[in-house]
Amino acid sequence: MGNENIITRMKNLFKQTKPEVVSAHSTNVGAFYDSTTSKFMEVYGEVIQAFRTTDVKVYLDYTIENAELKDGQKILDAGCGVGGPASYFAEKLNVQVEGITVSEVQVQKSKEIIASKKLKGIVNIQQGDYHRIDEIFGSNIFDRVIFLESFGHSDNKSLLIEKAFKVLKPGGILYIKDLFKREHPNEEDGKKIDRIINEINKAYCYHVADLHEVLAAMRRLNFILLFVKTPEVKVGEFEHLTISNDFQNLFDIAKIISWEDYVFPIDFYEIKVMKPPFDMNKEKHLYFLNRPEAVTQL
């Protein structure tokens, strides 16, 4: 066997065990979750989301409704954690869920979780970088791409949105639920918010998103905006984010030392957009009524 052949084989072997990641930051995120996933699971269970209901199933049902997850769909859960949400969706619906996480430890944990459930649908979870989903899965594949408190880890959100656009089928939906930097009423609060956001980013390997930038990136691609809103959770069912305080206090991660100087730095939002079922670049002189029902009449 020639040298070149050996090198190619070794490269392929390396690919199978350690998928290449786009940036050093994504590698760090993987290492972060490799070392913290057991801690997260101790506090959060199988669903690693801070904004939730006391009974987390109520929140997952809400997600099914709002992301319009339905029987027969092919869904990409981008940043799927240990597969708690993906396996819940496949327990309830006859769907095929592909999950991707950058953490090897999470893939291992997800295997036990999936095996412990009676699924109607199919769940496959693999290690990989969600900035490369087009290379991993191909174009025009998914009915839904969902990011559940995972999008904000990205250090290149425009690229990530482009990749989501690529892997979605025309008419498919991108659904993001995450935290976004709060706008501030004055300079003093602004400085406090910036400082606290920096602490969150450092502690959780995050890049808390800016809503304007995210929406601009989506609109540049002609995604059809369906809604941006605060998750509509009933006050009596809301968990009030105590879970993230418990986690921070227990493991001394981003622990809040004093509440006196604290300005709440983020808003939680859901964003739902549709990939247009037609090529918006073909007939640029036309105005398309950007409503899904109008689209089906074209």
Instruction: By CB under 6 A, name the binding residues for ligand SAM.
Output: 26, 29, 33, 47-49, 79-81, 84-85, 100-103, 106, 129-131, 148-150, 153
Taking the least distance from each CB to ligand SAM, the nearer of 153 and 275 is 153
Least distance in angstroms from the C-beta of 150 to ligand SAM: 3
Based on the number of CB atoms within 10 Å of its own CB, is 30 exposed (0-12), middle (13-18) or buried (19 or more)? buried
Tally of CB atoms within 10 A around 249: 12
Distance CA 231, CA 269 (A): 6
Which amino acid is it at 153? H
Taking the least distance from each CB to ligand SAM, the nearer of 97 and 273 is 97
- Distance set, CA 219 to CA 33, 164, 231, 289 (Å): 32, 13, 22, 15
Distance CA 154, CA 26 (A): 7
Taking the least distance from each CB to ligand SAM, the nearer of 113 and 274 is 113
- In the 8-state DSSP scheme, what is residue 241? T
Taking the least distance from each CB to ligand SAM, the nearer of 21 and 193 is 21
DSSP assignment of 132-144, as one string? GHHHHH-SS-EEE
Taking the least distance from each CB to ligand SAM, the nearer of 79 and 265 is 79
